[in-house]
Structure 1
Amino acid sequence: MARSNSSPAARASFLGLVAATLALVLAAAAPALANPILLVEADTGKVLEQKEAGRPWHPASVTKLMTVYVALNAVKNGRLTMDTPITVSPAAAAQQPSKMGFRAGTVVTLDNALKMVLVKSANDMAWVVGEGVGGSMPEFVAEMNATAAHLGMSGTHFENPNGLPDEQQITTARDLAILARAIIYHFPEQEALFRIPAIKLGKAVIRNYNRLIDRYPGADGMKTGFVCGSGYNLVATATRGNKRLIAVILGARSGTARTEQAALLFEKGFQATWSPFGAVNPLLSSISNQGGPPGNMKAEVCGGKRAVTASEADDEPDPTASAGFAFAAPTLPKSGAELLQTLPPSMAPVPVYVGTRNSVEDFATAYAPDEKPKKPKQAAKPDAKPDARSKATASADGDGAADGDKDPPKAAAKPAAKPAPKPATATASTSDKPKTDAPKKQVQPQAPVAAGSVPTPKPKPKPKPAETPAESAAPAPKPAT
């Protein structure tokens, strides 16, 4: 019997090479997409697809969907109206970008503030809404969390109304789908608020960060989010015929990636014969929220070599965006990019203003006298590359800004060419400290409800404020704990 002449070291080296090769093959075969996703039928609550939908995640500016929900609920309960004037506080004015940048003391109506929150993703306006509705920020955040518990969002906790980075501010794809369904069926009269393609401030136009609107046929909501820790988030809705779908994307690697992933999910969901679950689809309430730390995308989306600095306005293509989403069916596209197009505008840019309905003010009054108003970013074409603003860098995460991006700083003054000019008197700008002693308002108790439960829709539904009905197609389960 012949003996092998190979030494133990050589055999070990060979086996190591085989193991490494096998690991590479398995890694290539495995889906590259690891971020949580969820696709749900809005009317039934049936889950059409999900991956890690109960995994904790930072919501970023998707938080603002809850801010808007609480505000609309306050309007429905008669606590204020859409025309109620609310004032920008020093604390609101001090919020990090993305923001409108109005000075403290500026007055806006709730209606205008909500439009700026949903389209511009303005962090200062979200703070203004919170203080205007809750009376103080602690009271408003308490109401956000009470509402989340009432809706059955058992994996969600809020610390602020705008989604700026906070380690304690977490949610899940499951919970965000529950919130989206609640918005759809509790406030049907406000559905247009979530599909505004752009707002208009004087002559300037600001386009919605949700790039599905007017690009994917049937897209009609809702909200994007971005901080470096969360990556690119999106809660989106789309309708074809009598079928409305909700897609949740968390932790995408770019703005383009989340848009294309959502488009692919929608396209799968609108196929009558497609279903990964066979004849029986699970319900949204059957998904369990997980424990543990939230996902962190900072190294992937804000580190390494990128063509542009990561920001909410980033439409940088991601070559791995569609990995794990390719379709075997020949009738479906292989990438989300094939589904996006330039559609006729669904509506003209919606004008917004400062002041009240009966006393509209010039936008110049919303800025400090020694500052020139910053011109809002003009609406970009859907396929336009990120503008120069997305390349700015500064010091704090924010929706619409990079990890630390602030609005572009003013250009530094050039040194005087000649000595001896009389120096100009410098004017130091100051800002008041945030006030937290505003009058408190009582948080109204609400009855417990099944997780993710909403009614089967009827033509022109008129839901009562206290109702949160059970999902159709199954008896109402108890709220998840």
Structure 2
Amino acid sequence: MQFLRPSLRKSSLSWIVLAAALAVLAPRVVHAEALLVVEADTGKVLQAENATYPWYPASVTKMMTAYVTLKAVKEGRLSLESTLAVSPVAASQSPSKMGFRPGTQVTVENALLMMMVKSANDMAVVLAEGVAGSVDGFSAQMNSTAQRLGMTQTSYVNPNGLPAEGQVTSARDLAILARAILRDLPEYEYFMHTPSIRFGRRVTQNFNKLIGRYPGADGFKTGFICASGYNLVASATRNGKRLIAVVLGASSGQARAVKAAQLLERGFANNTLSWLRPSLGTVDNLVPVDASPPNLRDEMCNGKRKRPASDEDEDLVASANGASSGEAAVAFFTAGLQPPMAKPSELLAAAPVASQPVVVYTGPKKTGDALIAAVAADEQKQTTRHRGKKSRVAARKPDAAAEARTAGKDAKSEAKSEAKSEAKSEAKSEAKSDGKPAAKPVRQAHAKPSGAPKASDKPAADKPAAATAKPAKPKAAAEKPAARPATKPAPKSSEAKPSDPKTAAAPRS
């Protein structure tokens, strides 16, 4: 600046001051995330960024669904053992869901576990209809509860967080809700941090990656829709102190978990360094921002990146080569203040601590032998459904058999063996690509049959063709129908030799 003339120097300084003032005054919204850390007991705010900016909640909506349902249980309006029926409305919900048929019975407890661990949208509707009779009636209860708790920026339209006009919240309001769950429903807190569930032979891990990975993690819920980005309300307890962290609008499932872990680490370190920071007051006193929620659809689900259908399909692969700037800051401030802990990105990339999945099932409450039988019945249903898929695959291939029927005897048997080999091979690939946990038992059960075609698929196709090629007459008979009907039948075998059997056996993708 010393080389500038006085008038230019003064002008430059004015622009710098103006830019700085605008940066402070302008709300940070365009793809800014909303971040918040509070003390669970006192509500004291330890860190806040865009915490009162409106946001689409996605599946963190299910925290309120659980709260309203469990309050009804606590007040005796229904019990955890009460059975609820899956309605057509519930069955029609988009994934993630359990996928039960209308009429299926499920207990309140099992529906809650499926909703909070698997983020099952159909179970949220089952609970809503069970408590209030309808989705609209339950949404009204959710909204009155939000107002009572002081969640002034929140409005609910459905119980599962699927996109809906007018469904909105904020990081501030979600922290208020998390505190209310801990304060009002301590006996039901286990629903907020169950590590995994087992339904039949399928095991589902909690989508909250902090559970079982971050030391002391004990809540709450994840959420994702294109408009909101990746959301997470998390909590953890250390040395008797419990903190709640809210992350809204992260770029991936891994990023939201890492950010939540960083916020919690900063919050725990803040106990020692609190005198360095100005007081931010309590979460209830944060001033709401009057604006529309940011829509992150283009960033989250544009053509350049695969759109996840739900929380269930998020990319869980850690992209952490070394510490991020946030992790570096955490390491600097916490060095020497507490035992060293692995970087959040490393912690969350690891497998969760081994735990016994909580068994969930359909039908009324069961224990002992009855529970074992119920689990076996659900496993059987899954197996039957899987076999049904394989039969449909085999039934999809009538063309080769139809052509073979019009050919001579030799060609007919050849086409039959080809069609059989093809059906086995496609059924095997269907079994492989079916649901992840289900694939393993099916592969074991069909190891021999699926292995046989593998070794003999192509040679088996060539061998009968060669055997049929010896006698000239049957071969010619086989070629006539294989040739195009509109043209003269060609008695020469040059075309039929390699292509007829292979055409019949070509798998469809």
Residue in structure 1 matched with residue 496 of structure 2 by the alignment: none
| Equivalences for residues 34-433 of structure 1 within 5 A | 34-271=32-269, 272-275=271-274, 278=277, 280-306=279-305, 309=308, 311-312=310-311, 313-317=314-318, 322=324, 326-327=328-329, 329=332, 331=334, 336-340=344-348, 342=350, 345=353, 347-358=355-366, 361=374, 362-363=377-378, 413-414=396-397, 416-419=399-402
Map Cα deviations across residues 316-346 of structure 1 (whole Å, 9 max, x no partner).
Answer: 4467995666517264589631444647737
Residue 34 of structure 1, CA deviation: 1.5
Residue 309 of structure 1, CA deviation: 4.8
Residue 373 of structure 1, CA deviation: 8.7
SS at match of 1:212: coil
Q: 1:338 to 1:273 in 2, by over 3 A?
A: farther
Whole-Å separation in 1 of the counterparts to 2:82 and 2:381: 18
Whole-Å separation in 2 of the counterparts to 1:410 and 1:179: 48
Residue in structure 2 matched with residue 448 of structure 1 by the alignment: none
Residue 294 of structure 1, CA deviation: 0.9
Task: Percent identity, please.
Answer: 50
Q: Does the CA contact (< 8 Å) of 1:254 and 1:318 recur in 2? A: no
SS at match of 1:155: coil
Task: Indicate the structure with greater helix content.
Answer: 2
Residue 368 of structure 1, CA deviation: 13
SS at match of 1:102: coil
Greater C-alpha radius of gyration: 2
Map Cα deviations across residues 391-439 of structure 1 (whole Å, 9 max, x no partner).
Answer: xxxxxxxxxxxxxxxxxx99993453132799xxxxxxxxxxxxxxxxx
Which amino acid in structure 2 is aligned with residue 248 of structure 1?
Answer: V
Whole-Å separation in 2 of the counterparts to 1:116 and 1:63: 15
Whole-Å separation in 1 of the counterparts to 2:103 and 2:381: 8
Map Cα deviations across residues 119-168 of structure 1 (whole Å, 9 max, x no partner).
Answer: 00000000000000111221111100000000000000000000001131
Residue 371 of structure 1, CA deviation: 7.7
Residue 310 of structure 1, CA deviation: 6.9
Whole-Å separation in 1 of the counterparts to 2:50 and 2:315: 25
Whole-Å separation in 2 of the counterparts to 1:183 and 1:348: 25
Whole-Å separation in 1 of the counterparts to 2:291 and 2:170: 12
- Unpaired runs of 5+ in structure 2? 1-15, 336-340, 406-509
Whole-Å separation in 1 of the counterparts to 2:310 and 2:80: 31
Q: Does the CA contact (< 8 Å) of 2:318 and 2:349 recur in 1? A: no
Map Cα deviations across residues 340-366 of structure 1 (whole Å, 9 max, x no partner).
Answer: 464773741100010001476422687
Which amino acid in structure 2 is aligned with residue 267 of structure 1?
Answer: E
Map Cα deviations across residues 35-63 of structure 1 (whole Å, 9 max, x no partner).
Answer: 00100000110000010001111100000
Whole-Å separation in 2 of the counterparts to 1:230 and 1:222: 18
Whole-Å separation in 2 of the counterparts to 1:165 and 1:174: 21
SS at match of 2:256: helix
Whole-Å separation in 2 of the counterparts to 1:33 and 1:189: 38
Q: CA RMSD in A?
A: 3.5
Q: Does the CA contact (< 8 Å) of 1:308 and 1:314 recur in 2? A: no
Q: Does the CA contact (< 8 Å) of 1:115 and 1:199 recur in 2? A: yes
Which amino acid in structure 1 is aligned with residue 378 of structure 2?
Answer: F
SS at match of 1:355: coil
Whole-Å separation in 1 of the counterparts to 2:385 and 2:348: 44
Residue 67 of structure 1, CA deviation: 0.2
Q: Does the CA contact (< 8 Å) of 1:37 and 1:50 recur in 2? A: yes
Q: Does the CA contact (< 8 Å) of 1:64 and 1:162 recur in 2? A: yes
SS at match of 2:222: strand
- Name the TM-score, length of structure 2 as normaliser: 0.65
SS at match of 1:177: helix
Whole-Å separation in 2 of the counterparts to 1:178 and 1:70: 15
- Name the TM-score, length of structure 1 as normaliser: 0.68
Residue 279 of structure 1, CA deviation: 5.8
Equivalent residues, number: 364
Whole-Å separation in 2 of the counterparts to 1:365 and 1:80: 30
SS at match of 1:130: helix
SS at match of 1:199: strand
Which amino acid in structure 2 is aligned with residue 185 of structure 1?
Answer: R
Q: Does the CA contact (< 8 Å) of 1:235 and 1:247 recur in 2? A: yes
Q: 1:184 to 1:373 in 2, by over 3 A?
A: farther
SS at match of 1:131: helix
Whole-Å separation in 2 of the counterparts to 1:78 and 1:31: 44
Residue 308 of structure 1, CA deviation: 7.6
Q: 1:322 to 1:302 in 2, by over 3 A?
A: farther
Q: Does the CA contact (< 8 Å) of 2:156 and 2:168 recur in 1? A: yes
Which amino acid in structure 1 is aligned with residue 357 of structure 2?
Answer: P
Q: 1:82 to 1:279 in 2, by over 3 A?
A: same
Q: 1:337 to 1:344 in 2, by over 3 A?
A: closer
